[in-house]
């Protein structure tokens, strides 16, 4: 008799997977990968160093965040490397956040969502922006939920001139929309520590605002860029986390990958230091 095919096992969502890794490995660090062509002899050298840094720092990382711009700048070899990065991350058990800050209308947004949340270069999560209106988030939310992934909506970015367009309550308005989307997904009665597929980017450089945004978005994972090279300190980030040390991921890119030029041992030491500083800061 022909055997009935068993249903494919359900994979954990991005939010569940990254939270589980946070707790089992006791790390809140997101290691950013910014492979800058001018730092290397050639593309082969760039490839080797990028993969070496990711593999060597993986024990101290909750996830990895390739910055798409640096891979795109390499052309076809960059896309090939990105696929290698994603494949190695899966082997290492590292969830992947693709930092692309995508956002557009209609079919273009749908194409971006297919490419980066379900295509051959796909990661587990993608950074997106809502500058063209909240409706532009819909294709990304739907793709993330369909693929067990996640998105991180730009709410208050880490760069100093973000206030040009994110001030005057704009960031708070976007945060309210993130919270609305998450309530639709997990329900109004969900407990703190239940995370939905829609997260938010809130710069680690805005330490005084973290408690406000944590309260506005109780079911959003917060991605906190700016640790290290941009001057943010792990000790100031506790308000972004829930009790138990979940709910946020602090990202360091240059401060890990190029901690001391191309010295991989220095990258490992930097990742361990950031991991330890974050653990010391949060309520475990």
Which residues are catalytic, by number? 101
User: How many C-alpha atoms does 113 have within 13 Å on its Cβ side?
Assistant: 25
Backbone angles phi, psi at 131, to 5 degrees: -60, -30
Look at residue 232 and give its three-state secondary structure: strand
Q: What is the 3-state secondary structure (H, E, C) of 88-131?
A: HHHHHCCCEEEEEEECCCHHHHHHHHHHHHCCCCCCCEEEECCC
Nearest to 132 by CA among 102, 158, 162: 102
* Numbers of helices and strands, H then E, in the chain: 11, 8
Q: In 3D, which of 279, 259, 249 has the Cα closest to residue 127?
A: 249
Q: How far apart, in whole angstroms, are the C-alpha atoms of residue 199 and residue 155?
A: 10
Please state, in angstroms and as integers, the Cα–Cα distance from residue 141 to each residue in 12, 26, 97, 112, following that order. 17, 28, 15, 12
CA nearest to 116, candidates 88, 70, 82, 157: 82
Query: Which candidate, 40, 112, 104, places its Cα nearest to that of 78?
Result: 40
The answer for residues whose C-beta is within 8 angstroms of residue 123's C-beta and 6 or more apart is 66, 86, 96, 97, 98, 116, 117, 149
Question: Half-sphere exposure (CA, 13 Å, Cβ side) for 21?
Answer: 26
């Amino acid at each position: 008799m022909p055997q009935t095919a068993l249903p494919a096992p359900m994979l954990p969502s991005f939010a569940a997977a990254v939270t589980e890794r946070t707790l089992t490995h006791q790390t809140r660090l997101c290691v950013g990968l910014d492979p800058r062509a001018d730092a290397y002899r050639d593309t082969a050298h760039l490839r080797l160093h990028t993969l070496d840094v990711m593999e060597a720092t993986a024990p101290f990382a909750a996830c990895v965040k390739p910055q798409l711009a640096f891979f795109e700048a390499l052309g076809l070899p960059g896309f090939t490397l990105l696929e290698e990065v994603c494949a190695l991350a899966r082997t290492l058990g590292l969830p992947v956040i693709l930092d692309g800050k995508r956002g557009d209308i209609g079919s273009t947004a749908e194409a971006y969502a297919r490419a980066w949340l379900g295509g051959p270069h796909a990661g587990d999560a993608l950074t997106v922006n809502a500058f063209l209106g909240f409706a532009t988030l819909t294709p990304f939310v739907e793709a993330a939920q369909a693929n067990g992934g996640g998105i991180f909506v730009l709410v208050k970015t880490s760069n100093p001139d973000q206030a040009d367009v994110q001030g005057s309550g704009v960031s708070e308005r976007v945060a309210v929309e993130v919270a609305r989307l998450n309530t639709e997904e997990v329900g109004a009665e969900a407990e703190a520590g239940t995370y939905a597929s829609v997260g938010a980017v809130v710069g680690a450089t805005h330490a005084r605002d973290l408690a406000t945004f944590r309260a506005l978005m109780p079911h959003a994972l917060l991605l906190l860029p700016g640790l290290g090279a941009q001057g943010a300190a792990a000790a100031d980030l506790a308000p972004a986390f829930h009790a138990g040390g979940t709910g946020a991921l602090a990202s360091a890119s240059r401060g890990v990958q190029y901690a001391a030029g191309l010295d991989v041992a220095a990258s490992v030491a930097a990742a361990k230091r950031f991991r330890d500083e974050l653990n010391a800061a949060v309520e475990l």
